[in-house]
């Protein structure tokens, strides 16, 4: 049955393939016109010949012990994600962005209902805010345990994403039906935990398909989807909470994530080269009867101990974060920006509901400033990445990781500009559109900082990208999760202007970080045994 490759290689396509006993959704190796590459044909023929020669037992043993590595059939192998058509790579990239957005929106979509949760359950606003905090903590801790599964060839990325998303969707039902805070909070943590794999390794899925010189553009697009989740969450949640109560923020999340799950289960193919080659090796073994055909990832997995897996997933991210100055400083900076973003979300209630008299739905519309700021920033950043960064990257003799940092220098200056502007134009006597415009510059700063910071760390430590990104996600999520707990008191006690000035002063103090890293980063990396 001829089907598109994206469907054949999707989660549902794989289920149908195995459930039918490999009769439906067949792969090229299982088609009648498939020609076995000479490398594998010779190896299989040699093995059959030696097995028939019963007089030479030692030769038989050596032959069966010799492993033949299954790789791409040619540099232009169409099964390799880097060789997919431009349209297919764009389509799958969109799917990864949709997956990321559908999870990230789950944090802030809850925020408009916090006061309603407190009122219904008879608890304080701080206690109700734990529903937001624990979700963020969950998707900070989750990648340390779940994301490494996507690196195992037997699983691959898509299987982990879809199964995690399935649990995420199912958890929303008891969450919306919770009758007390004791039931709500563990479910919110569990939702963040199981939804975490695409948040940590979605960028790796995108990088599977695109060459390194294109990474800035596509990772930027994936980052845009991640930013839009918490920004658009209050917009969707505000109208829902106003009309139907806090539970409808969760029902809306269920519809968004459930619709995404249905679509992605059928249209998101595997992108991990290790997983694709593992499945190819399995098909070739069945085709030739030669058990010595194995992929490199399969061989590596057979020799990895549980201790090595624990070292890779639980120890190395912390080791790199606290022993590598570059990693620690960039993680701290990104965590600061991430934390202030959640403080920003809380300040909108004070500015637009209390000062300007907006309702929950209208308050959600105020977040369009952050959204538009992110969109416009990417519209300007993409040409810069294509026409400036890409030529530098292609000329490897002149490319160093510090070439990523001028973008962060620009972004660092926009953070304090936005905070001072927003804080001192938040009074009821000033038209509401003025602070909304000021908030847009915060998106400019955070987008550029995230884009430059994460790519810079990945370039500095290419052998440990998974650990670097997992550690960054854990660090920024745990720091960011704490800020909403004191946000309302912070803005009430100091006033929005003074509170934003404190935050603006902190971001001013952090401005030198990308400049210092640009000037001395190469020298610091030279001292490290982990950096390249």
306 band by pLDDT with thresholds 50, 70 and 90: low
Q: Are residues 255 and 337 in the same domain?
A: yes
Beta bridge partners of 69: 294
**Shortest CA distance to 230 belongs to which of 205, 199, 260?**
199
Q: Are residues 27 and 101 in the same domain?
A: no
Q: Are residues 107 and 26 in the same domain?
A: no
Residue 22 belongs to domain spanning:
1-36
Q: pLDDT for 44-80, tens place per residue?
A: 666 656 555 554 544 444 444 578 889 999 999 999 9
Q: Are residues 224 and 314 in the same domain?
A: yes
Q: Are residues 242 and 380 in the same domain?
A: yes
Q: Are residues 93 and 29 in the same domain?
A: no
Distance of alpha carbon 170 from alpha carbon 183, whole angstroms: 15
Residue labelled with tokens 């294509």? 386
Whether 15 maps to a domain, the answer reads yes
Distance of alpha carbon 347 from alpha carbon 495, whole angstroms: 10
Whether 320 maps to a domain, the answer reads yes
Q: pLDDT for 436-476, tens place per residue?
A: 999 999 999 999 998 888 888 888 888 777 778 778 888 88
pLDDT higher than 70, residue 228: yes
Judge residue 3's burial from the number of C-beta atoms within 10 Å of its C-beta, 0-12 exposed, 13-18 middle, 19 or more buried: middle
Q: What is the mean pLDDT of residues 274-296?
A: 90
Tell me the chain's radius of gyration from C-alpha atoms.
Answer: 25
> Residue 395: its pLDDT value, please?
74
Distance of alpha carbon 365 from alpha carbon 235, whole angstroms: 6
pLDDT higher than 70, residue 245: yes
Q: How many domains does the chain have?
A: 2
Q: What is the mean pLDDT of residues 287-307?
A: 82
Q: Which CATH number does the domain housing residue 485 bear?
A: 1.20.1250.20
Q: Are residues 29 and 95 in the same domain?
A: no
- Does this model's pTM top 0.85? yes
Exposed e or buried b per residue across 336-351, where buried means at least 16 C-beta atoms within 10 angstroms of its C-beta? bbbbbbbbbbbbbbbb
Whether 282 maps to a domain, the answer reads no
Q: Are residues 434 and 509 in the same domain?
A: yes
Whether 50 maps to a domain, the answer reads no
Q: pLDDT for 129-167, tens place per residue?
A: 999 999 999 988 888 888 778 878 888 899 999 999 999
Q: Are residues 327 and 464 in the same domain?
A: yes
> Residue 258: its pLDDT value, please?
96
Q: Bigger pLDDT: 223 or 188?
A: 188
Lowest-pLDDT range of 115-124, 407-416, 465-474, 500-509:
465-474
Q: Are residues 335 and 235 in the same domain?
A: yes
């Amino acid at each position: 049955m001829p089907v598109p490759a994206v469907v054949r290689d999707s989660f549902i396509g794989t289920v149908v393939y195995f459930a039918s006993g490999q009769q439906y959704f067949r792969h090229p190796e299982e088609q009648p016109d498939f020609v076995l590459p000479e490398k594998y044909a010779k190896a299989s023929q040699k093995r059959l010949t030696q097995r028939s020669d019963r007089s030479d037992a030692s030769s038989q043993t050596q032959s069966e012990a010799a492993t033949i590595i299954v790789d791409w059939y040619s540099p232009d192998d169409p099964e390799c994600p880097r060789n997919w058509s431009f349209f297919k790579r764009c389509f799958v990239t969109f799917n990864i962005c949709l997956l990321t957005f559908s999870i990230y929106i789950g944090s802030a979509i809850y925020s408009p209902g916090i006061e309603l949760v407190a009122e219904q359950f008879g608890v304080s606003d701080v206690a109700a805010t734990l529903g937001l905090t624990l979700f963020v903590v969950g998707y900070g801790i989750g990648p340390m345990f779940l994301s490494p599964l996507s690196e195992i060839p037997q699983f691959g990325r898509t299987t982990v994403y879809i199964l995690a998303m399935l649990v995420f969707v199912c958890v929303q039902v008891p969450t919306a039906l919770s009758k007390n805070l004791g039931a709500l909070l563990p479910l919110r943590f569990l939702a963040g935990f199981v939804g975490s794999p695409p948040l940590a390794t979605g960028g790796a899925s995108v990088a599977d398909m695109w060459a390194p010189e294109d990474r800035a553009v596509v990772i930027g697009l994936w980052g845009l989807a991640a930013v839009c989740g918490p920004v658009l969450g209050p917009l969707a949640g505000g109208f829902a909470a106003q009309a139907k109560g806090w539970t409808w923020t969760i029902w809306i999340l269920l519809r968004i994530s459930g619709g995404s799950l249905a679509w992605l289960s059928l249209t998101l193919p595997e992108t991990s080269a290790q997983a694709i080659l593992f499945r190819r090796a399995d098909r070739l073994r069945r085709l030739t009867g030669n058990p010595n055909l194995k992929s490199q990832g399969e061989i590596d997995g057979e020799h990895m101990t549980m201790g090595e897996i624990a070292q890779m997933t639980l120890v190395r991210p912390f080791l790199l974060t606290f022993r590598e100055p570059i990693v620690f400083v960039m993680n701290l900076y990104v965590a600061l920006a991430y934390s202030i973003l959640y403080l920003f979300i809380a300040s909108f209630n004070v500015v637009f509901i209390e000062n300007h008299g907006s309702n929950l739905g209208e308050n959600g519309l105020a977040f369009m400033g952050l959204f538009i700021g992110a969109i416009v920033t990417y519209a300007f950043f993409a040409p810069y990445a294509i026409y400036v960064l890409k030529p530098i990257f292609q000329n490897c003799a002149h490319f160093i990781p510090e070439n990523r940092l001028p973008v962060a220098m620009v972004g660092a200056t926009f953070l304090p500009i936005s905070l001072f502007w927003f804080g001192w134009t938040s009074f009821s006597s000033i038209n509401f559109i003025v602070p909304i415009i000021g908030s847009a510059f915060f998106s400019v700063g955070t987008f550029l900082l995230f884009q430059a910071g994460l790519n810079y760390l990945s370039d500095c430590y290419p052998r440990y990208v998974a650990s670097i990104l997992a550690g960054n996600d854990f660090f920024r999520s745990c720091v960011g999760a704490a800020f909403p707990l004191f946000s309302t008191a912070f803005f009430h006690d100091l006033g929005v202007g003074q509170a934003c000035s404190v935050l603006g002063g902190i971001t001013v103090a952090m401005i030198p970080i990308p400049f210092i890293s640009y000037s001395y980063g190469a020298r610091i990396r030279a001292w490290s045994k982990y950096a390249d």
